Homo-oligomer: A and B are copies of this chain.
C-alpha cells in the first residue's frame, strides 16, 4: 500500500482517557442516548478492568464536559445528558476574560453578532416570535421607572428573543456570552451614570426602531440600525484610539450624507 513504512510518534495515553473515548464513542455512534444510564461505577470497574479511581477520573471528565451526570445514591447509575451549549458558553467566557480581548473587540464582535441576528430575524421571524419580542419591549418600557437592573434584564430578554428568531443557535449562544462579557465590564459604569434615565429612554427608542424593522421584514435595515444602536450606546466606553474598528462595521463610512439620524 504505502511505498515506505510510516511510523507515527507515540504518545502515552492515560487509562482514564481510553475510558472517556469509549463512552464518547458509544454516544457518538448512538449506542448510548441522552436519558439512558451508564452502569454503576463498580460495574464499570469490572467492565473496563480498571480501578475505581481510574473509572472515576474518566467519569469526572465526562461530567465536566457535560456528557453525563452522576447523582449520589442513584441506583440507575450516571445519566447520559442531552447536548447542551453551556460548556461551549463556558469556554467562550474563558476566551473573553482570560485572553487579551479588549472592550473594543468585544463590542465589535457584539455588533457583528447582534446585527446578523437582527438581519436573520427580520427575514425569518414567525408571528409568534414577533409577539415575544413585542412583549419584552413592553417589559422594558414598564421597567424604565423600576431601575436599571429590571430594564437591563428585559433588554437581555429582547436580544435573546431576536437571537432565537434568527434560528441560529450558534449566533444565539455567542451573542449571549459576548453580551454578558460586555455588561460585566461596564455595567457598573452604566448603573452609576447620573443620566441613566436618559440612557434608558434612548435605548428604548433604539429598540423600538429595530423592532419596527423586524416587523416590516426589513432585513438590511434591521442589521444596519442594530449596529448603529450598539455603536451609539457603547462607543463612549471605548478609548477614542480604538473606535476605528467599530466605525468600520457601520457600513456607512462613505455616506456622509443621508439619514444618519
Contact = CB atoms under 8 A, between A and B. Distances in A.
B100 A95 contact: no
A171 B112 contact: yes
A170 B220 contact: no
A124 interface: yes
A61 interface: yes
Copies in the complex: 2
Interface stretch (A129-137, A146-154, A202-210, A243-251): A243-251
Given A28-B98, A65-B64, A109 B170 contact: yes
Contacts of A83: 94-95, 98-100
Contacts of A168: 105, 108-109, 245
Given A95-B173, A112-B112, A171-B109, A120 B248 contact: yes
A174 B96 CA distance: 11
A27 B83 CA distance: 27
Contact of A169 (B28, B101, B173): B101
B87 A91 contact: yes
Contacts of A56: 53, 57
Q: How large is the interface on A (under 10, 10 to 19, 20 to 34, 35 or more residues)?
A: 35 or more
A83 B178 CA distance: 17
Nearest to A123: B248
B170 A96 contact: yes
Contacts of A249: 116, 119-120
Given A64-B65, A120-B248, A170-B178, 11 more contacts: A61-B63, A64-B64, A83-B100, A95-B169, A101-B170, A105-B170, A108-B168, A112-B116, A123-B245, A124-B248, A220-B251
8 contacts: A12-B72, A16-B60, A20-B64, A61-B64, A83-B94, A88-B92, A99-B169, A119-B249
